[in-house]
Amino acid sequence: MNNFQKWQNQDSSNKNRILALVIGALIFLIMIPAFLVFVSPQVDNYLGISSFYHGLGNIIIGVMAIIVGGFIAMWTIVIQIRLASGTPFPMLPTKKLLIVGPFKYCRNPMTSGTVTAYVGISILIGSFAALIAVAIFAGILIGYLKIIEEKELEMRFGSDYLEYKKKTPFIIPVTIVRRDSKK
């Protein structure tokens, strides 16, 4: 955990943040979707698994999930950069606890949005292997969030994070309606 404290205290220049975001974009916006689109159907074929692509239904549901998930993920990144001088990456973390924007609905909106977008891609192409790959990716990411990131955030932000954690869902924003109706 000492690395997290060191990263929190270091001054991250705009150049480093932009570089991290470019690398992240290459991985999360290009490489993973390309794997889902080009490799997963081949895995389905190899294993003899039929596609569940049935036309317009897959297109509508898949595109909607990609748009919604992509919007949430991008909104999260913009908030991290603009309001907390950080990035989604642990080496260039936010400098303050974010509880506004998408973070008021769940503690991990980027994960929620990214997984939703990847599920959308899987539905759009009708690949069971893609859905399984997304489930494995989500499981690994959730494990990291629970085992490492939550402890790191508690260490950096103390009681403020613990209070936020008590009030805000982990990944699924189940309190949107309830919270907004109290206003």
Largest CA distance in the chain: 53
Q: Please, what is the average pLDDT of the chain?
A: 89
CATH of the domain at 18: 1.20.120.1630
Q: Which residue has the tokens 């150049």?
A: 15
Question: What pLDDT is stored for residue 8 in this prediction?
Answer: 54
Question: What pLDDT is stored for residue 183 in this prediction?
Answer: 46
Mind listing the pLDDT tens digit for each residue in 115-150?
Answer: 999 999 999 999 999 999 999 999 999 999 999 999
Kindly tell me if the per-residue pLDDT of 63 is higher than 90.
Answer: yes
Please state the pTM of the whole predicted model: 0.88
Give the CA distances from residue 19 to residues 14, 25, 27, 174, in Å, rounded to whole numbers and listed in that order: 8, 10, 13, 34
Q: Dihedral sign for Cα 81, 134, 136, 26, please.
A: negative
Q: At what angle do helices 109-125 and 128-144 cross, to 10 degrees?
A: 170
Question: What pLDDT is stored for residue 16 in this prediction?
Answer: 78
Find the range with the poorest average confidence among 17-26, 37-46, 119-128, 141-150. Answer: 17-26
Question: What pLDDT is stored for residue 4 in this prediction?
Answer: 55
Domain of 142 in residue numbering reads as: 2-181
Kindly tell me if the per-residue pLDDT of 5 is higher than 60.
Answer: no
The total domain count for the chain is 1
Question: What pLDDT is stored for residue 45 in this prediction?
Answer: 97
